[in-house]
Amino acid sequence: KADLPTYTLAQVNAHISAKTDGIWVVYKNGVYDITKFIAAHPGGTKILLASGKSIEPFWQIYAAHNHGDVHKILEGLRVGNLDPVDVKALEEERVKKFGAGPYANEPMRHPAMKINSNQPFNAEPPPELLMETFITPNDLFFIRNHLPVPDIDINQHKIEISGIGFGQDGISLSVEDLKTTFKQREVITTIQCAGNRRAEMSQIKQVNGLSWDTTALSTAKWTGVYLSDILAFYGIVDEDEVGIKHCHLEGLDRDITGQAYGASIPIATALDKRKEVLIAYAMNDEPIPRDHGYPLRAIVPGTVGARNVKFLGRIILSDEEYQGFWQQKDYRGFPPNVDYSTQDFHRFAGASIQELPVQSAITEPRTGQTWPLEGSEEVDVMTVKGYAWSGGGRNILRVDVSLDNGQTWQEATLAPEATAQRYGRAWAWTPWTLDIDIPDDIDHLDVVVKAIDSSYNVQPDTINPIWNMRGVLNNAWHRIHVPIQK
């Protein structure tokens, strides 16, 4: 590119009109004329948002540009080099915004998200926005990252499958191989973090972990191929075969020692077609956003979020569980009597969490939020909203709401998309609503919810019997306190 002219950022800034000087953008040290490309851009006229500017911040949101092919198109539009002084200035601006080091290349996030930690990035959506739709929009889907988000070129990416039945070297498949070899499948599923509602658990006695409220869960439609189809293609259909017990799922996000995020699921889950375990390449009809696992992600319906491994790089069939930290030391249920002061507390770690227990919560109103009385009507009504969900595909049979701490109950109305789910394959949540008549002469309401799943499992009424030092698996009755404004 040495023969191309050099331009300053100020000159690029002036190229914002297709009619006069053309529309230019910059990317790293290159200057590009996109005037003729705009009409052909697969993402439409959004590209104009970057007119005269750097496209980098935009490409941080839209992972689909993370492609050798896209960079080839871009180079075809090159008209010059950016003045090295401006290249340095842009880089400094980027570092100021995103920081330096392992977290310098994180994607952009929706400003409405409530951030629980920045590095790694963890955030949950406001409950009122989350419950507006059955399927959560991608940019409002809760984010739970243990490590920096990797930056993967989809064209170079190959998923490796090894272990029992595949030999040590195993095989590898590109994203294209997956799409062309196996039948395309769709699954609508809710992903819930084991730490959802941890904040309430800490009110009983401090637990360790991110302080999640009630919205460390979201729902999406995932497109991909069944893991059971892939394994069957290579002749693995029987879980009793030569000692296969676990299916490891390993991501491409790594800590500074090189240890990847990884997890495992029982081989029975991986092989069972009815469990619909997916190797997904799309989320709500878009390439999976970087935060949610671009370019490939394991979707394990009905199973705790932690096993839905993002940025999937390797699948290994084994006679033992995955040995990484988050399978062995975390995402396990400790008994209520064990805490960090207990001698050798790791000894008490229970089995790794897989299917989650029945859950429900109220999302509107929020606890502490004052409810204004209309005053005009005979009886004032408060609309209460929330979700229910159970692990293992168990359907929600009923959602009960009480205003007197469980003495009497009213039945909520369940969302039709939810109740239409097949028996034993209710992977998605059950949104519910109930209009409550507000009694006269009260200054507050204490509202309680519980759900019942298709195994007639119920939620515990208090947190005490399920308290655990990691603050996972909180599915006690959810309670809110609502002051009534007279």
Under the criterion CB under 6 A, does residue 32 sit at the interface with ligand HEM?
Answer: yes
CA distance 233 to 248: 18
Q: How far is CA 121 from CA 145, 192, 279, 376, in A?
A: 6, 17, 24, 47
Q: Does 120 bind Mo ion (CB under 5 A)?
A: no
* CB-nearer residue toward ligand MTE: 11 or 136: 136
Find the catalytic residue in 62, 226, 331, 387.
Answer: 331
Q: Which residue's C-beta sits nearest to Mo ion? A: 193
**What type of residue is 362?**
I
| Under rule CB under 6 A, residue 50 binds ligand HEM | yes
Counting contacts by CB under 6 A, is residue 58 touching ligand HEM? yes
Please give the DSSP secondary-structure letter assigned to residue 419.
H
Least distance to ligand MTE, CB of residue 103, Å:
13
Select the residue interacting with ligand HEM from 12, 26, 74, 278 (CB under 6 A): 74
166 contributes a contact to ligand MTE by CB under 6 A: no
Residues 85-144 binding ligand MTE (CB under 6 A) are 141-144
Please say which residue, 30 or 266, places its beta carbon nearer to ligand HEM: 30
Instruction: Let me know: does 251 contact 259? Beta carbons within 8 Å.
Output: no
34 binds ligand HEM (CB under 6 A): yes
The active-site residue out of 157, 193, 294, 332 is 193
429 binds ligand MTE (CB under 6 A): no
Q: Which amino acid is at 8?
A: T
Quick note: the x/- pattern for ligand HEM over 264-303, rule CB under 6 A, is ----------------------xx----------------
Instruction: Let me know: does 47 contact 41? Beta carbons within 8 Å.
Output: yes
Q: Which residue has the tokens 């809710």?
A: 190
- Window contacting Mo ion (CB under 5 A); options: 38-46, 122-130, 138-146, 457-465: 138-146
**What CA–CA distance (Å, rounded) separates 293 from 249?**
13
H or E segment and range at residue 283: strand 278-283
Closest C-alpha among 428, 395, 448, 446 to residue 133: 428
Give which of ligand HEM, ligand MTE, Mo ion, none residue 58 binds (C-beta under 5 to 8 Å, depending on kind).
ligand HEM
State the minimum distance, in angstroms, from the CB of residue 229 to ligand MTE: 22
Q: Which of 12, 306, 384, 482 binds Mo ion (CB under 5 A)?
A: 306
Residue 472 sits in the site that holds ligand MTE (CB under 6 A):
no
Q: Is 42 in the site for ligand HEM (CB under 6 A)?
A: yes
Which positions from 433 through 452 interact with ligand MTE, judged by CB under 6 A? none
Binding mask 260-299 for ligand MTE (x = CB under 6 A): -x-----------------------------xx-------
Alpha-carbon distance of 359 to 460, in angstroms, equals: 10
Burial (CB count within 10 angstroms: exposed 0-12, middle 13-18, buried 19+), residue 390: buried
Binding partner of 292, given ligand MTE, ligand HEM, Mo ion, none, CB within 5-8 angstroms per partner class:
ligand MTE
193 catalytically annotated: yes
159 is a site residue for ligand MTE (CB under 6 A) = no
Query: Cβ 11 to ligand HEM, closest distance in Å?
Result: 17
Q: For the range 473-477, what are the long-range contacts, defined as Cβ-Cβ under 8 Å and sequence gap of 24 or more?
A: 473/194, 473/333, 473/353, 473/356, 473/357, 474/196, 474/197, 474/198, 474/200, 474/201, 475/197, 475/356, 475/357, 475/358, 475/359, 475/360, 476/200, 477/406, 477/448, 477/449, 477/450
Separation CA 141–CA 137 (nearest Å): 6
CA–CA distance, 486 with 482 (Å, rounded to integer):
13
- In the set 27, 32, 62, 144, the catalytic residue is 144
Reported as type and span, the H/E element at residue 57 is helix 56-61
Q: How many Cβ atoms are within 10 Å of 266's Cβ, its own excluded? A: 18
Is 144 in the active site? yes
User: Residue 440: is it exposed, middle or buried by C-beta count within 10 angstroms (0-12/13-18/19+)?
Assistant: exposed
Positions touching Mo ion (CB under 5 A) are 144, 193, 305-306
Provide the annotated active-site residues.
41, 65, 144, 193, 331
Positions touching ligand HEM (CB under 6 A) are 25, 32, 34, 41-43, 46-47, 49-50, 55, 58, 62, 64-65, 67, 70, 73-74, 286-287
